[in-house]
Amino acid sequence: MEDSPRVNTYLAVGQIIVSIGLIASVLLQARGTGLSSAFGGDSAVYRSRRGVERRLWQFTIILGILFAVFSLASYAFAPVAGA
């Protein structure tokens, strides 16, 4: 009897990579430690995201969607217990 892996290896590796990127992008967006405050900007007033901060925010959304897709795909392609 052959031992088949419980999860698809490619999906697992992809999910790990996406999760690391998602963690990094969220940490870069922490309030008060954004890219504008690193260069002397003040985050105490309301302002719109511009430039790199906006791209980082969009990238975080994309990574979140990819993480959800990888999670659903891992569930959908999981082997059946009795098969």
Cα 62 to Cα 60: distance, rounded to the nearest angstrom: 5
DSSP conformation letters of 37-78: HHTT---SS-----THHHHHHHHHHHHHHHHHHHHHHHHHTP
- Taking the alpha carbons at both ends of the chain, their separation in whole angstroms is 12
Per-residue pLDDT of 25-79, as tens digits, reads 999 887 655 555 555 555 555 667 778 888 999 999 999 999 999 999 988 888 7
Q: What are the tokens at 62?
A: 């994309």
Residues 6+ apart with CB under 8 A from 70: 11, 14, 15, 18
pLDDT class of 1 with cuts at 50, 70, 90: very low
